[in-house]
Amino acid sequence: MITNFLRHMALSLLLLAAALAASSPADAAMSDWAVNEGGRMRLVALSPDVDGRLRAALEIEPHQGWITYWREPGQSGIPPQITVQPGSNVTLENVGYPVPQPIAIGSIREIGYKDRVALPIDFKITDVDKPTTLKVSAFIGLCKDICIPFQADFSLSLPAESQFLPEEQGVVAAAEASLPRPPSADFALDRHALSPDGKRLALRFTLPEAGSAIPAVYVTGPSGYAFFEQANSRRDGRTFETEIVLGKLPGGYDLHGKQWSVLVVDGTHAMETRLAFD
């Protein structure tokens, strides 16, 4: 898969130019779809609030048999990149990532989405007294037999605060609802410990419901690194213990004082939290 990806990258980059798309008419809060061989995407935005916070979402729809990627794609792949273009009077505050799926392509194990996904995005208007046009570039990867980089440029003139946008509000609300939850009393990470040789990370969770299925766990460390191979997993009702096998880290990487993230998915429940290393 990696060899094929590199072999076809030059061709894919040629296709990239044809995939660029400008968006929609003035005063719209939803762009036209940008389309390429592997799927399509569009930008949806709501009216800014009185503090200049602007909620939006990037909708991505891979075609049948194609996939796109989570923020850390695994062994290969292209994570989404969203950037604000100059002259927008807007800054990017946060991009959220709905709960992903493990994806196996031959011997390659990746993390991403096989179906439609919407990434919730928070922007902030720099100066609420100045005109604002939301100008955003989105860059994603869509993969099937080959991986195709897909970039689109969007430009939305934002609607007035009082404008009612039921379709846009539905898209953004659904995107936000698809995010993993923060820790709570009934769903939390109880303990984490690194093995003396630094090759395994022991985790213990309290889960929201009793059961027997082994949850999926994704640990993200330094940028570009994700670990999700489990060993010695044990579930007793709502208590779940596992060890995550850590692959090779960057040369000279010092874990002391770092914070990683862990996402655990138990059926329809998902929780994400931080791992702090002393």
In a domain, 183, yes or no: no
Give the pLDDT band of residue 20 (cuts 50, 70, 90).
Answer: very low
Max avg pLDDT among 5-14, 46-55, 227-236: 227-236
Alpha helices in the chain (DSSP H): 2-19, 166-177
- Considering the domain architecture, whether residues 116 and 198 belong to the same structural domain is answered as no
Per-residue tokens: 213: 């299925």
Q: What is the pLDDT of residues 145-175, one digit of tens each?
A: 888 999 999 999 886 665 667 899 999 999 9
CATH of the domain at 74: 2.60.40.1250
User: Do 59 and 82 fall into the same domain?
Assistant: yes
d(CA 111, CA 79): 10
Single out the residue in 152, 177, 202 at which a domain terminates: 177
Domain check: are 239 and 127 in the same one? no
> Residue 15 carries which side chain, given as an amino acid letter?
L
What are the tens digits of pLDDT across the range 54-96?
Answer: 999 999 999 999 999 999 998 778 899 999 998 889 999 999 9
Looking at the structure, tell me whether residues 28 and 157 fall in a common domain: yes
Instruction: Give pLDDT, residue 12.
Output: 40
Q: Do 33 and 101 reside in the same domain of the chain?
A: yes
The pLDDT tens digits of the residues spanning 192-210 come to 999 988 899 999 999 999 9
Q: Are residues 100 and 156 in the same domain?
A: yes
- For the stretch 101-139, pLDDT in tens is 998 877 778 899 999 999 999 999 999 888 788 999 999
The pLDDT of residue 162 is: 58
Confidence band of 28 (pLDDT split at 50, 70, 90): low
Range of the domain at 26: 2-177
Number of domains making up the chain:
2
Residues 153, 120 share a domain:
yes
Q: Please name which of 136, 174, 186, 177 lies closest in space to residue 157, comparing C-alpha atoms.
A: 136
**Residue located via tokens 């993390």:** 111
Flag whether pLDDT at 25 surpasses 50.
Answer: no
Is residue 107 assigned to a domain? Answer: yes
- Does residue 192 sit in the same domain as residue 169? no
Q: In this structure, are 23 and 144 located in the same domain?
A: yes
**129 & 206 share domain:** no
Q: Beta-strand (E) ranges in the chain?
A: 34-36, 39-45, 53-62, 68-74, 81-84, 90-95, 101-105, 108-113, 117-125, 133-143, 147-157, 188-194, 200-211, 216-220, 226-227, 230-245, 259-266, 269-276
Based on the domain organization, do 170 and 193 belong to the same domain? Answer: no
